[in-house]
Every structure is written in structure tokens, then in C-alpha cells.
């Protein structure tokens, strides 16, 4: 959910764009990261761990913890918390085995 009113901050959002998350179209604003756009859309579950298939989501949001790795435009293991969203981008849950 996006914050419309805030007592201290004003949010200037860029141009509205769309990208694909596992085949589903998701709304985003230019200048935000893929993770931010997914969170705004209520998507917290990005992919599964390789062995135990545990759900994986956002943790550090600064590109250090590897919890948010996804396949972006065919590039596996992309840190979506530090990658800006681009119109038409294809974001997919990693399918396992990519880290090997």
C-alpha cells in the first residue's frame, strides 16, 4: 500500500509504468526499486529457497543479504532491492539450482 499522506514527508513519484511478476502485470513508478513496487502491490513472497523450498522475501533492502534474489529479464540472482524497475521488465521467481 502506498502512503498518500505523511506528517513529515512529501513523496514525488515518477512516471507510472508496468512490469511483469511471474506473468502478472504489476504497477510501479519510475525511480523505485523492483522490491519497493512489489511491496506496494502487497507481494512479499518472491521465491523459494533452493533446498527446503521455504518462502523468501525482503530483508535488508540494501543489497547485502541475498534474500531477494530473482530472475530479472533473464538474469538470475538479481538483487531486486537495489535494482530500479523499468517499464516492461520481466521479473520471475528463481527456479532453483541457479545459485549452484
List binders of other proteins among 28-47 (CB under 8 A).
32-33, 36, 39-40, 44-46
> Closest distance between other proteins and the C-beta of residue 52, in Å?
9
- Regarding 61 and contact with other proteins (CB under 8 A), the answer is yes
- Regarding 64 and contact with other proteins (CB under 8 A), the answer is yes
Judge contact between 35 and 58, C-beta under 8 A: yes
Could you tell me the CA-to-CA distances from 64 to 21, 57, 58, 81 in Å, in that order? 22, 13, 11, 9
- Regarding 26 and contact with other proteins (CB under 8 A), the answer is no
Amino acid at each position: 500500500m502506498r502512503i498518500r499522506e505523511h506528517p513529515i514527508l512529501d513523496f514525488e513519484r515518477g512516471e507510472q509504468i508496468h512490469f511483469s511478476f511471474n506473468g502478472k502485470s504489476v504497477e510501479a513508478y519510475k525511480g523505485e526499486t523492483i522490491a519497493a513496487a512489489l511491496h506496494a502491490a502487497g507481494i512479499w513472497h518472491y521465491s523459494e529457497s533452493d533446498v527446503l523450498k521455504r518462502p523468501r522475501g525482503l530483508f535488508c533492502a540494501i543489497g547485502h543479504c541475498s534474500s531477494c534474489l530473482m530472475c530479472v529479464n533473464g538474469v538470475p540472482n538479481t538483487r531486486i532491492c537495489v535494482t530500479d524497475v523499468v517499464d516492461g521488465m520481466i521479473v520471475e521467481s528463481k527456479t532453483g539450482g541457479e545459485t549452484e
